[in-house]
Structure 1
Amino acid sequence: MEQTANPISLDTATQRLAEGVLAGRRRALSKAITLVENTREDRRRQANQLVSYLLPRSGTATRIGISGTPGVGKSTFIEAFGLFLIERGLRVAVLAVDPSSKISGGSILGDKVRMEQLARRNEAFIRPSPSAGTLGGVTRRTRETMMLCEAAGFDVILIETVGVGQSETAVADMVDFFTVLLLPNAGDEIQGIKKGIIEVADLLVINKADGEFRDAAKRARRHYANAVNLFRPKNPHWKTPVVCASGLGGEGIDTVWESAGKHRALLEEHGLFEKLRRQQRQRWFQQALEDSLLERFQAHPEVARKLPELRNAIGQGQMSPHHAAANLIGLFMGDPQQN
């Protein structure tokens, strides 16, 4: 991203934090991420200023999303991939999203345990964050966290998504290369395809393709390769490859990185890479706008007072959801005609 004079003025504490991030200090980066995840209004304003200040110093890293159903071996694969990249002189940040419980609201946040070898490397930074019920397989502040890691000098950002449901394809809107991991022995591979995810994937990886599963993985690769031909590619210049790999044994990891490099080179050749980055920033803005409006709406005192009553009315079948929504919007806008 082109460097320009930064018009953002920071207070002393935020300026010191920004300088720590730019110097690549891990403690400062962790504090900055905690700040952007904070929901307090004063902290949110401070976080917005910090992100805007650091934004011109970001944008150079390769952003890779890694998705797949629970049990496919995402953490093992990411650890092997991260160690592979470090051996090639790259610094790697892993943003690992843990699913939050709908009952308690808590999450395990155990990725540093699952990626023990990678966590010990100075060239790696692993940040587990709770999804807090956010759709899309990512947290509400994943984009900000990714940008902070780029400003801290990391060359590759790996986003490990929750791995539940087709709404997870939202991660494809914030990365350059979207990889989907698949199991080699999932039964009828073609019937099991999630069309929404497959259509936005830039690479399909049959993971755990070693030992007794090696032959099954080769069969699955052929099935998926044939299935990919049935879908319209999201990029007319790129046909989604299907490869076999093993996070445990390390086989095929180099092919994954080679595919990411070829994909980026192709985008740049056709003038599509900067267009992709502009689209990512526009989607970031759209999501931030929707989140801010929803927060202000729910914090409105009249809306907060009326909301439980309308929820009950809907649950009892006494009012349609659209009627209730119009009622609340009328309160929010101060327009009695909406009620």
Structure 2
Amino acid sequence: MELGVLADKIIEGSRRSLGKGITLIESRKPEHSKDASALLDLLLPHTGNSIRVGITGVPGVGKSTFIEAFGKYLTSIGHRVAVLAVDPSSQITGGSILGDKTRMEELSRDENAFIRPSPAGDTLGGVARRTRETMLLCEAAGYDVIIVETVGVGQSEIAVASMVDFFMLLQLATAGDELQGIKKGVMELADAIVINKADIDWQKAELSKQQYLNALHILRPKSRNWTVPVYPVSSLENRGIEDIWGMLQEFKGVMEESGEFDEKRKSQAVDWMWSLLMDDLKGMFMANKNVQGIFESVQEAVAKGITTPGAASKRLLDAFRKGW
């Protein structure tokens, strides 16, 4: 399909065309890279009109159940929701589970929702390399709420937090010393903490809410304009889901009024540029024939202690420059 036609169909809201566009964006074939950039250029004027929400939490916290309940609520009040679920990939086969459409069965059948599981591949933190571009395509297709679900491991939380407007941490009700087991780094990234599965014990969830609030007081505030709230919810009973949307609307209003919303997006766009540049430079470096000729032997020399990492780096760079 010609790129102009594909772009027009995406803007018209064609789910099939959106899927084709995302497949083009995610392709690692060099011949597709130019077309992907051209498609993004065509769609860029139609992007930016959404709120981008990152959601993380340990396995078992009920991320998919929460996202389905939240997504169904949003579509019921007239919003269009895109869920970009980044799955862990096998380090051996490179495959991924891609089971989110099964876990969000009802939402996946909703005509106002779009679910796109993407293999995480070998990128840092398990975040799909093209997730940012995929968000832009979804915005161009008219989706005004973009949800990015992290794999919940390693550095993926940091990577997702750097590409969204709002970062939500899902937790289970805990008590006392159990709070000490929470990673401080993840807590510091959060714009809100949602205690899921509160229906198991609402009293314990309320107690846990106060403990989380106390813990947040000793952390440095992420924003001068926003105090991190804590909400107990039950995704199964649809209790508290409406409050989460109200909180997100309040957040966006406060941040837009202060100017922090736009400043954050500008900063993220520049960081994104540098991330892609470094990724492309690494690919160019590794594809260089002079580098390929000595890379394995140099790497082995470093591993065996025959040469220093610094000397090895200089040798590889010298080999790369010879091709100029």
Q: Scaled by the length of structure 2, what TM-score is found?
A: 0.96
Give, as a single letter, the amino acid of the residue that structure 2 aligns with 1:151. Answer: A
**Residues 1:72 and 2:64 are matched in the alignment:** no
Give, as a single letter, the amino acid of the residue that structure 1 aligns with 2:262. Answer: E
Relative to structure 1, the CA distance from residue 187 to residue 248 in structure 2 (aligned partners, 3 Å threshold; closer, same or farther) is: farther
- For 2:211 and 2:307, the matched residues in 1 are separated by 49
- For 1:203 and 1:269, the matched residues in 2 are separated by 19
Match of 2:165 in 1: 176
Query: 5 Å matches for 1:309-328?
Result: 309-328=297-316
Match of 2:322 in 1: 334
Q: Which whole-Å deviations, capped at 9, do the CAs of 1:87-108 have from their partners, x for residues lacking one? A: 1100000000000111221111
Relative to structure 1, the CA distance from residue 216 to residue 324 in structure 2 (aligned partners, 3 Å threshold; closer, same or farther) is: farther
Give, as a single letter, the amino acid of the residue that structure 2 aligns with 1:45. Answer: K
Relative to structure 1, the CA distance from residue 175 to residue 26 in structure 2 (aligned partners, 3 Å threshold; closer, same or farther) is: same
- For 2:176 and 2:16, the matched residues in 1 are separated by 45
Match of 1:191 in 2: 180
Question: Among 175, 200, 215, which residue is 1:227 paired with?
Answer: 215
Query: SS at the partner of 2:203?
Result: helix
- For 1:270 and 1:146, the matched residues in 2 are separated by 24
Question: Among 254, 263, 266, which residue is 1:266 paired with?
Answer: 254
Give, as a single letter, the amino acid of the residue that structure 2 aligns with 1:327. Answer: R
Question: Which is helix-richer, 1 or 2?
Answer: 2
Query: 5 Å matches for 1:94-109?
Result: 94-109=83-98
Question: Among 262, 268, 276, which residue is 1:280 paired with?
Answer: 268
Question: Among 147, 171, 187, which residue is 2:136 paired with?
Answer: 147
- Once the two structures are TM-superposed, the CA of residue 295 in structure 1 deviates from its matched residue by 0.8
Match of 1:33 in 2: 22
Question: Among 180, 200, 207, which residue is 2:189 paired with?
Answer: 200
- For 2:320 and 2:205, the matched residues in 1 are separated by 55
Give, as a single letter, the amino acid of the residue that structure 1 aligns with 2:189. Answer: V
- For 2:176 and 2:274, the matched residues in 1 are separated by 39
Query: 5 Å matches for 1:232-311?
Result: 232-311=220-299
Q: Which whole-Å deviations, capped at 9, do the CAs of 1:65-107 have from their partners, x for residues lacking one? A: 1011111111111000100100110000000000011122111
Query: 5 Å matches for 1:86-165?
Result: 86-165=75-154
Q: Which whole-Å deviations, capped at 9, do the CAs of 1:141-200 have from their partners, x for residues lacking one? A: 000000000000011000001110245212111111110101224873321121111112
- For 1:168 and 1:233, the matched residues in 2 are separated by 18
Give, as a single letter, the amino acid of the residue that structure 1 aligns with 2:268. Answer: Q
Match of 1:3 in 2: none
In the alignment, structure 1 segments of 5+ residues that lack a partner are 1-11
Query: SS at the partner of 1:210?
Result: helix
Query: SS at the partner of 1:237?
Result: coil
Give, as a single letter, the amino acid of the residue that structure 2 aligns with 1:304. Answer: Q
Contact 1:166 1:197 in 2 (8 A): no
Relative to structure 1, the CA distance from residue 218 to residue 308 in structure 2 (aligned partners, 3 Å threshold; closer, same or farther) is: same
Relative to structure 1, the CA distance from residue 45 to residue 166 in structure 2 (aligned partners, 3 Å threshold; closer, same or farther) is: closer
- Once the two structures are TM-superposed, the CA of residue 321 in structure 1 deviates from its matched residue by 2.3
Larger displacement relative to structure 2 (228-237 or 213-222): 213-222
Q: Which whole-Å deviations, capped at 9, do the CAs of 1:190-218 have from their partners, x for residues lacking one? A: 2112111111210011111113x333322
- For 2:59 and 2:179, the matched residues in 1 are separated by 19
Relative to structure 1, the CA distance from residue 236 to residue 76 in structure 2 (aligned partners, 3 Å threshold; closer, same or farther) is: same
- Once the two structures are TM-superposed, the CA of residue 317 in structure 1 deviates from its matched residue by 2.4
- For 1:47 and 1:220, the matched residues in 2 are separated by 46
Q: How large is the Cα RMSD of the aligned pairs?
A: 1.6
Give, as a single letter, the amino acid of the residue that structure 1 aligns with 2:276. Answer: A
Instruction: After the TM superposition, list the runs of 4 or more consecutive aligned residues in structure 1 that deviate by more than 3 angstroms.
Output: 185-189
Give, as a single letter, the amino acid of the residue that structure 1 aligns with 2:301. Answer: A
